[in-house]
Amino acid sequence: MEIQIRLFATLKDRIGREIISVQIPEGASVADLLKAIAETYPALQPYLPSTVVAINHEFAFPGDSLRPGDEVALFPPVSGGEADPSRPEIVAITTEPIDLNALVRAVATPRTGAVALFTGVVRGEEGDRQVEFLEYEAYLPMAEAKMRQILAEIRERWPLIHGIAIVQRVGRMRVGEITVAVVVSSGHRHEGIFEAARYGIDRLKEIVPIWKKEIGSHGEVWIEGHYHPSPTDVLRSPHAS
């Protein structure tokens, strides 16, 4: 079926069109739609991990299905102020494979001379267990909010950072597949990018509600962490007392 998509704000400017269309199978999901858009309109690909999707005037998510006649819109996250192109930020939870080259391009600015990138991949062995898959699950609204909190914490600690991207994949992944990426850019390598990338992944493991299930010959088991959040992990409004 053919789906027409309305583009807004920066997405419209990137491609020079307000409406695009793609072909997807009957019953395809939002994740399938985004994949088709990336293949048909490569200029939009770097921006899709952080793009908001709406179907029939309501927010839509990767597993939601599309039907003929649906009104679909794509737009960047809504903000109370103007985005700063010198400080690009991407936060995304996706079912699609993570494109590292696209993320590097997305966080780079004309002033960028260095990019540090951390990626996590599925291990095939865990102790004496053979792992075939990992399956990730997220509490989406809270996970995205806490990932944005991490961005703010990185900005506070390393003010010379240019761009930051934190992307977590959910769903089932085979051994060797990328599960998460933290990408940080700056003018020079000594301006905190290595430390910021490590902080980003460490903090993600502490406060972002994402879980993984290990699947192998031993069966299935959820892997739980040990960090318990404290009041200092709560993102508070600057106007709060």
The domains of the chain are located at: 2-75, 89-233
Q: How far apart are CA 99 and CA 169, in angstroms?
A: 11
Asked if residue 8 lies in contact with residue 20, where contact means CB atoms within 8 angstroms, the answer is no
Per residue of the chain (241 residues), give pLDDT as tens. 999 999 987 788 888 899 999 999 999 999 999 999 999 998 898 888 878 899 998 888 888 999 999 999 998 765 445 567 789 999 999 988 999 999 999 999 999 999 999 999 999 988 888 999 999 998 887 888 899 999 999 999 999 999 999 999 999 999 999 999 999 999 999 999 999 999 999 999 999 999 899 999 888 888 877 777 788 887 654 333 3
Q: Calculate helix-pair angle for 140-157, 193-207, nearest 10 degrees.
A: 150
Domain 2-75 class?
alpha beta
Q: Residue 228 class from Cβ within 10 Å (0-12 exposed, 13-18 middle, 19+ buried)?
A: exposed
Residue 139's identity, in one-letter code, is Y
Q: Which fold has domain 89-233?
A: Aldehyde Oxidoreductase; domain 3 (3.90.1170)
pTM attached to this predicted model:
0.69
